[in-house]
Amino acid sequence: MLRALEAKSKEEGQAILKVDTLNEYTNQWKKTIYMGPYAALIGPSTSGKSRLLMEMSQHICVVYICLRPTNSTGLPPRSALAEHILHTTAGYKTYYTTLLAGIFQVVANFFSGQNPTENIQDRLKKWNDYTEVASLGTLDIEKRTQTQFTADVLEEMRKFIIRPNATLAGTVAAMRDFTKFIAPSSSMRVLLALDEARALLQTPGPSDEISFFRIFRRTIREIPTGMGIFILLVDTTSYVANFSLKSSSFDSSARYKFEGENGLYDPIYQISSFDAMVPSNPPRSWEELVSPERLFKYGSPIFGAYFRDATSEGQLPLVIYGAILELAFYKLRGPTEPAESTQPAMIKPQAFAFLGPTIQPRINGASHLHTELIASHAAHCDYISPGCDLVMSNYPSQFTLAAAAGDHLRDDSTCI
């Protein structure tokens, strides 16, 4: 906590707190208690999940892999390694054993080849530049597909297959030994972050009944305790927090949060990036208080960042305003199904999404609706129960979403 309070920025402080949480999770990992050394990071689009991982990569080794669809235009882009994680041959545990061994061996090789006298920040920066997606360098984010990293992983996979007596535990142990410099007194030094993790809910083939994730989880359960590695599943939907429902059997004598081999780590959903772009200095006049430059910086940081970058490029103010409000509208509306009408009927989640930033109606119960609002309609996650069966969302006050919603609702053709 003290390190977080002394951080240079709010984002860095939050990253340190999340690292501390994951460090605690890693320390607790035992296959006799938990389903696997993994937890979920849940937050709506624009909430700053990717930025949080980038900040965390300044303190630990982050292996970031994005599993978004091949035709997606979202950022960060789909990683080159995604097609191998979601490969049709991934229906076998031995495949994921080989894949994870390849990833961990690349980590071990990279840090073993460094000069041990270099400081931690420089060594981590070289890793971040090498893996591209977590890099804060000059490479355009659209080009951060990790092609070289993927090629190295595939090469280590081939070596693992032909290496006598090769085991996943042995590879993880090598990675542990070569990453001890990162945080000698911490339990976690390497974080494998799988973004757009809902892709793991798919099955390798149409005739398969077992999802990618169930096979993946069986594999990571073989990671021994004390290896300094933890896995984070990142997505907008809380479904990734509970890929496998807990057993229906109940032991009345079990300790709190301990349920045999079916334990799940509490999901992480409090991402304090809201209002991160707001200047620390108070406005000096009424005009400054209500200026677009200041109003767009309230709420989700993506709107303030867009305004800042577009202004620096010399774009016209009206063009900037229109682009930001259009982005906010699409974030609230979410996905739509093709319809014959040019004005398709508004579905229930969309209705709550457009009313949320304006009049903030209460939604009692209906956990599935909260889940949908977070996943597809820019709602913020207030709470996810430890069993992941209760989800609560809300729309905190922010000018940009309220302006976009109001602009849409004033259209006479819009009916709720």
Grouping H, G, I as helix, E, B as strand and the rest as coil, residue 330 is: helix
Confidence of residue 239 (pLDDT cuts 50, 70, 90): low
The yes-or-no verdict on residue 255 having pLDDT over 50 is no
Give Cβ neighbours of residue 173 (< 8 Å, ≥ 6 apart).
224, 227
- How far, in Å, are 62, 72, 139, 142 from residue 133 at the CA level? 10, 16, 9, 9
The yes-or-no verdict on residue 348 having pLDDT over 50 is yes
Which pLDDT score, from 0 to 100, does residue 3 have?
A: 39
pLDDT in tens, 349-397: 999 999 999 988 887 766 788 888 988 899 988 888 876 778 889 999 8
Confidence of residue 109 (pLDDT cuts 50, 70, 90): very high
Determine the average pLDDT of the residues in 326-355. Answer: 80
CA–CA gap between residue 97 and residue 187 (Å, rounded): 23
* Contact by Cβ (8 Å): 322, 309: no
Confidence of residue 246 (pLDDT cuts 50, 70, 90): very low
Average pLDDT, the chain: 84
Confidence of residue 16 (pLDDT cuts 50, 70, 90): low
CA–CA gap between residue 399 and residue 358 (Å, rounded): 9
Q: Enumerate the domain spans of the chain.
A: 2-242, 286-335+342-409
Q: Is 319 exposed, middle or buried (0-12, 13-18, 19+ CB in 10 A)?
A: exposed
- How far, in Å, are 57, 143, 349 from residue 328 at the CA level? 29, 25, 16
CA–CA gap between residue 328 and residue 404 (Å, rounded): 6
* Burial state string for 51-63 with b = 16 or more CB within 10 A and e = fewer than 16: bbbbbbbbbbbbb
Percent of the chain with pLDDT over 90: 51
Helix, strand and coil content of the chain, in percent to the nearest 5, comes to: 45, 10, 45
Which pLDDT score, from 0 to 100, does residue 14 have?
A: 54
Chain position carrying tokens 């398969």: 208
Looking at residue 379, its amino acid is A
pLDDT in tens, 162-190: 999 999 999 999 999 999 999 888 899 99
pLDDT in tens, 388-407: 778 889 999 899 999 999 99
Strands 380-384 and 391-394: antiparallel
The yes-or-no verdict on residue 31 having pLDDT over 60 is yes
Q: Which of 269, 197, 183 is nearest to 233 (CA)?
A: 197
The yes-or-no verdict on residue 254 having pLDDT over 50 is no
Determine the average pLDDT of the residues in 133-160. Answer: 76
Q: Which residue has the higher pLDDT, 320 or 410?
A: 320
pTM (predicted TM-score): 0.82
Question: Which two three-digit tokens encode residue 174?
Answer: 């090598």
Confidence of residue 253 (pLDDT cuts 50, 70, 90): very low
Confidence of residue 107 (pLDDT cuts 50, 70, 90): very high
